[in-house]
Amino acid sequence: MNEQLTIQNLESQVTEMTKFDVTKEELQKIVDKTKSITASNLEDKVQLELVKKTRLELRGYEIEIEKAGKGYRDIFNKANKLEKEKENELLDVVRPETARLKELEDEAKEIAVEKEQRAKLPKRMERLAAIGDGEDNLCDEDLMKMDSNEFEAYYNSRVAEKLEDDRVALEEEAQEKRDADELEIKLKRDIDEAKLQAERDEVAVEKRKIEADRERLEYEENARIAMEEKAAKEKEEAKLEQERLAKFVEDERKREEAKEAKRLELLPDKEKLELYADDLLNVDMPLVESADAIEFLGDATILLAEVTNKIKSF
């Protein structure tokens, strides 16, 4: 209480000692008076001179206030420096012993903390083992160095890692099952597709075989038709050629007969009959195919021979 009064008295004395020559109220009155000064025409030298004069007067007050303030600050800065030096001188006497006693307290606290932490060690080891993550625990000293917050953070991180590992393992197991199911579905689909493709290939082979048979039959039919057409054409050509030759032979025969007839007109009758018989014998027999025609032609040949002999016997 007395110390507080002393500080208050000191502050009052300092305030009294650091008074400025002019008060705030006095300055406010001066400023209020200058507010009425204006320059309606900024080119009016009289008005501008009054503005400048008033500004310099106010600047004079500013300079006096700044100089007084700096003087007071210099005094107190010097006093503060001396006070700080005295403070350090006194503290240098007390601080070493304070530090020594603090070290004893810290050492005692460390012993108490170590004892407390060692008592917690079995429970901590048990909790860590219960996580079941297969991780090696920290050594006893590292676990004992941890305060409750640090241990809980370490424990929670181990639990979180174990949960994450379990989650990943479950996801991997589920993914493996999905992959296996997808593979099984794909294999079944591939097998079905292979069977379907085999059926399609078999149908395609059968279609190609049918098409090949159709093309072969068509080719054979076309070949048969072509051969028949060729044979018919050759037969027709042979027939025409035979008819042409027959006509040629007939024409030649007629010319020869006419020529011979003319010659015979000049011969006696017996010679004419002999020549006629020879002509009958020299007639080409027709080519026949049926058995009846062949038999009939044979009989006709015999009769012709008898007729020619009869003629020659004239």
Tell me the per-residue pLDDT of 117-142, one tens digit each, with 9 for 90 and over: 676 777 777 777 777 766 666 766 76
> What is the tens place of the pLDDT at every residue in 219-274?
888 888 888 888 888 888 878 888 888 888 888 888 888 877 776 665 577 777 77
Q: How far apart are CA 269 and CA 37, in angstroms?
A: 190
pLDDT of residue 3: 52
Separation of alpha carbons 284 and 252, rounded Å: 14
Most confident of 37-46, 52-61, 100-109, 141-150: 52-61
Average pLDDT over residues 177-201: 88
Alpha-carbon separation of residue 307 from 273, 301, 303 (angstroms): 11, 10, 6
**Domain ranges (residues) in the chain:** 21-127, 268-314
- Can you give the length of the chain in residues? 314
**H helices present in 132-147, as ranges:** 140-145
Question: Is 307:281 a contact under the CB 8 Å cutoff?
Answer: no
- State the angle between helix axes of 269-281 and 148-264 in degrees (0 to 180), rounded to the nearest 10: 170
C-alpha atoms less than 13 angstroms from C-alpha of 144 in its C-beta half-sphere: 15
